[in-house]
Structure 1
Amino acid sequence: MNQHQPPAWKDVRAAFQKIWGYDDFRPPQGEIISCLLAEKDALIIMPTGGGKSICFQLPALLQTGLTLVVSPLVALMENQVQELRQRNLSAALLHSELPSSQRRAVLQALERQQLRLLYLSPETLLSAPVWERLCQPQLKINGLILDEAHCLVQWGDTFRPAYRRLGAVRPALLKFKPQGTHISVAAFTATADPLAQKTIKEVLRLEQPAFFRVNPYRSNLNPSVRIVWTPRGRKQHLLKFIQERKQEPGLVYVRTRRDSENLAEWLREKGYSTTSYHAGLGAEERRAVEASWLSGKIPFVVCTCAFGMGINKPDVRWVIHFHAPHLLSEYVQEIGRAGRDGKPAQALMLISEPTGWLDPEDKQRQRFFEDRMRKQQLDAQQLMKKLPKKGEVNAVAKQFPDSAVALSLLHSSGQLNWLNPFEYIIEESRPKQLTTQLNAAKQMNQYLTTKQCRWQFLLNAFGFDKEAANWRCGHCDNCRK
């Protein structure tokens, strides 16, 4: 084992008070920090705004050596690293949009062991220049943290296939480290239902993980779903909702980049000060939008799911879903941006009338999503017949441009194993039914049409059955009826 004694608890608390200025930990922060300082694997589910990042940042800062934080979005990394640097703490980030001079400086700091925390995406972690440096025997790595771990489930099969290779990272790194080295792995998320928890544990190869989970219920957050009968009606509803909340900070969530640009433009024509935000914007544009919103210069942003993760604005009074998200986990993440100060906040979702005759958009969106999922699965099974049984990711990608997604889907269906993060072996076996995303989409539809308490539905969906029994929140639209 690493020759290291966890610091005394009074020193842990003193560091916490000095760096963050709070008096004491909120449960279960203290237990999670103790667990990570003891170098144990862990799966942590805590609601948005519950103080997850402190739980892995503090242990990383108190240990010698490096903690790697795998994070899905550049904006999320930038926010966390900026906050840490403002406190003069040794943290850095690496992503594809960094200027090459900054990238070189971070890689040098990594080689010289000057960093406690390094934030990167799964793709950057597995890029050659970074991987080569991480494998150097003298570089001490304490832990691998997967932040926003629901992205592994939500995006890992198709959109971000590198997520599926993360379980092979620890064993591969340990081959290069001195004997007895220990690297712990911990996954943090606000939303993971029982099936997602199982996927995260299996993909990351967590070893007897400690399990912490906090009920997602928030008494100040009032969810409601409203049927709109036409595309014009949807826009009118949005306008009325915003007019009633003049200058209150909020967020409008839409499905696609184009939706966010078109709707923001329409709202500006109506005299509202707003802008669009999506993953297609450059780093400087994103920063400018975030700064304008955080400072109150613009009261609300029209955004895709790329906005909000890790951005902390306590006084958000409302979130409106102009389009329903595909998955409940996305929905809970996004409404969780509101009311972090504990004061009442509204979470409204607009949906087409159920037949889809007057406004077929929602049905079309849903069908497009399901068809694309099925096509990708079918393509993966077809491509498997052509792929080498044993192969190296980059070499195979040159020959078969769509292979990255196919490999991750084959891993998901139990037909492929990763020998290390770069080499796979295909196992001859019948594919497991890949129903995760499609089932999750069905669950979202059930939520939209349920007559039961919205919070009761959400508690059941995320595995809090005991808490959900006989539950009635009293403040969602269904309870108020």
Structure 2
Amino acid sequence: MNELNAIPTNTLRDTLKRIWGYPEFRQPQEEIIRSLLSQQDTLIIMPTGGGKSICFQLPALLQPGLTLVVSPLVALMENQVKELRDRHLAAALLHSELPTYQRKQILQQLEQQQLKLLYLSPETLFSAPVWKRLCQPQLQINSLILDEAHCLVQWGDTFRPAYRRLGTVRPALLQSKPKGTKIAIAAFTATADPTAQATIQQVLQLQQPQVFRQNPYRPNLHLKVQMVWTPRGRKQQLLKFIQTKPQQAGLVYVRTRRDSESLAAWLNQQVYLTAAYHAGLSPEERREIETDWLKGKIPFVICTSAFGMGINKPDVRWVIHFHAPLLLSEYVQEIGRAGRDGKPSIALTLVSEPTGWLNPEDKQRQEFFTQKLRSQYTKAQQLAKKLPKQGKVPRDAESVIALALLHSHGQIEWQDPFHYIIHQTSLRSPRQIYLGHQINEYLNTHSCRWQFLLGAFGFNTEFKCGHCDRCLK
């Protein structure tokens, strides 16, 4: 038995209490921690707010060496690293927005093995200065954590193609390490249907992983979909809802930066204190909005999907989707930010009436998304035919996307993070188009909404929640 896995439960609980202040683990936190301590590959699907971060942060502190945490968003990494540093723990993050002196400082800490946790994006992981240091034989790496692993599935083909190369990281690092070195891989997410789970396991090359799956059902979260007839009617419904929830903490999700800014400006005119939050803001601006919201200075934020991952606020009473999300997995992630304290909370989605005649916004968004995907696939297929059959991963973004799409269709193999071999170049229709239809089925379902969600994510659906708008009808 691995001696780290033999650590007594009391020791694990003492560490939990001393650093995080919690007296007990939630189910199945301790089992996940033991899986990571025994250096077993692990796939963890736990609802938003289920305490995923502790499951990899605690083992990182107890193990010798470095834990690498690959994470999708700078804001998410900043929040987690700030919390760890506030607890006087040796954690750092690397990203492209860092000033040069800070970057040098962190790379130096990495070389001198002064860090327990290093957070970075897939793109930063593959950057030459970082990769060179990670490959130094004396640098001990115990595990690679993929946080928010659903991003590999949602973004890996087109938006963030570096995700598709993560499976090459372990074998490439092990080549530079002493014989007998082990590096475990663990993937954490709140949402992954059976197909997404298979993709994560395949891309990361997980070896006989232990799988922990928790049902996303939350009895305190009341789901509702409301039809709006015109763009003006959509705004009025939002206003009407907010008026009934004075000073309650909430989130309003929109699809684009422009939407967040225009809606926040309109609500400010209606004398509501709010702010627009999106990935285009500076780290300082994002941090200020997050802090104001966490402290209750701003009751609600108008945000894109860039907001909320990893931010811990238990008393969010409502989440409104001003625009329906494009994917069901996004929806479950975002509604999961409400009611983490177990108290009654509402998740409301506003949708155009079925024909979209008076308010075509939703239909236009869906069509734009589908067309963009199709054109990306067409362009990638044309480009793939011109690429050398084997070689170094090119620098231009479109070629890298073409390689990622070929990989998602099983038509290339990575020799290491930087070299590929192409076997074929034919692409099928994008799976995301089917997933786009799935959200429409959910919005129009006549059965229990929780029943639909649980079925979509591969859980038993033989129940009715009794508190969604369909059950109440």
Moved beyond 6 Å, runs of 4+? 1-5
Question: Which residue type is aligned with residue 453 of structure 2?
Answer: L
- Offset of residue 381 of structure 1: 1.0
Q: Distance in 2 between matches of 1:21 and 1:303?
A: 31
Matched, 1:86 2:86: yes
Contact 2:254 2:303 in 1 (8 A): yes
Residue 223 of structure 1 aligns to a residue in which SS?
Answer: strand
Q: TM-score, normalised by structure 2?
A: 0.98
Q: Distance in 2 between matches of 1:18 and 1:356?
A: 55
Q: 2:458 aligns with which of 454, 457, 463?
A: 463
Question: Which residue type is aligned with residue 452 of structure 1?
Answer: S
Q: Which runs of 5+ in 2 are unaligned?
A: none
- Offset of residue 161 of structure 1: 0.7
Matched, 1:406 2:398: no
Matched, 1:419 2:415: yes
- Offset of residue 241 of structure 1: 0.5
Contact 1:2 1:180 in 2 (8 A): no
Contact 2:381 2:425 in 1 (8 A): no
Give the corresponding residue for 2:374. 374
Aligned length: 473
Q: Over residues 371-423 of structure 1, what are the superposed CA-to-partner deviations in whole Å (9 max), with x where a residue is unaligned?
A: 11111111111111100111212xx235xx51111111111111111111111
Q: TM-score, normalised by structure 1?
A: 0.96
Question: Which residue type is aligned with residue 189 of structure 1?
Answer: T
- Offset of residue 435 of structure 1: 3.6
- Offset of residue 439 of structure 1: 1.4
Contact 1:2 1:181 in 2 (8 A): no
Q: Distance in 1 between matches of 2:122 and 2:368?
A: 27
Give the corresponding residue for 1:239. 239
Residues 1:236 and 1:309: Cα distance change in structure 2 (over 3 Å): same
Question: Which residue type is aligned with residue 375 of structure 2?
Answer: K
Q: Over residues 156-183 of structure 1, what are the superposed CA-to-partner deviations in whole Å (9 max), with x where a residue is unaligned?
A: 1111111111011100000000001000
Give the corresponding residue for 1:397. 395
Q: Distance in 1 between matches of 2:425 and 2:101?
A: 47
Aligned pairs (5 A) from 1:276-355: 276-355=276-355
Matched, 1:478 2:454: no
Contact 1:149 1:200 in 2 (8 A): yes
Contact 1:2 1:182 in 2 (8 A): no
- Offset of residue 430 of structure 1: 5.0
Residue 98 of structure 1 aligns to a residue in which SS?
Answer: coil
Question: Which residue type is aligned with residue 434 of structure 2?
Answer: N
Contact 1:49 1:340 in 2 (8 A): yes
Residue 275 of structure 2 aligns to a residue in which SS?
Answer: strand
Aligned pairs (5 A) from 1:206-217: 206-217=206-217
Question: Which residue type is aligned with residue 445 of structure 2?
Answer: T
Q: Over residues 343-383 of structure 1, what are the superposed CA-to-partner deviations in whole Å (9 max), with x where a residue is unaligned?
A: 10010000001101111111010001011111111111111
Q: Distance in 2 between matches of 1:134 and 1:45?
A: 28
Residue 102 of structure 1 aligns to a residue in which SS?
Answer: helix
Question: Which residue type is aligned with residue 450 of structure 2?
Answer: W
Q: Distance in 1 between matches of 2:137 and 2:240?
A: 61
Residues 1:5 and 1:46: Cα distance change in structure 2 (over 3 Å): closer
Quote the RMSD (CA, aligned, Å): 1.3
Q: Over residues 130-179 of structure 1, what are the superposed CA-to-partner deviations in whole Å (9 max), with x where a residue is unaligned?
A: 00000000000000000000000111111111111101110000000000
Contact 1:412 1:434 in 2 (8 A): no
Q: Distance in 2 between matches of 1:436 and 1:47?
A: 24
Residues 1:121 and 1:6: Cα distance change in structure 2 (over 3 Å): farther
Give the corresponding residue for 1:201. 201
Aligned pairs (5 A) from 1:54-69: 54-69=54-69
Contact 1:274 1:300 in 2 (8 A): yes
Contact 1:7 1:62 in 2 (8 A): no
Aligned sequence identity (%): 69
Contact 1:84 1:90 in 2 (8 A): yes
Give the corresponding residue for 1:105. 105
Q: Distance in 2 between matches of 1:159 and 1:192?
A: 18
Question: Which residue type is aligned with residue 208 of structure 1?
Answer: Q
Contact 2:377 2:430 in 1 (8 A): no
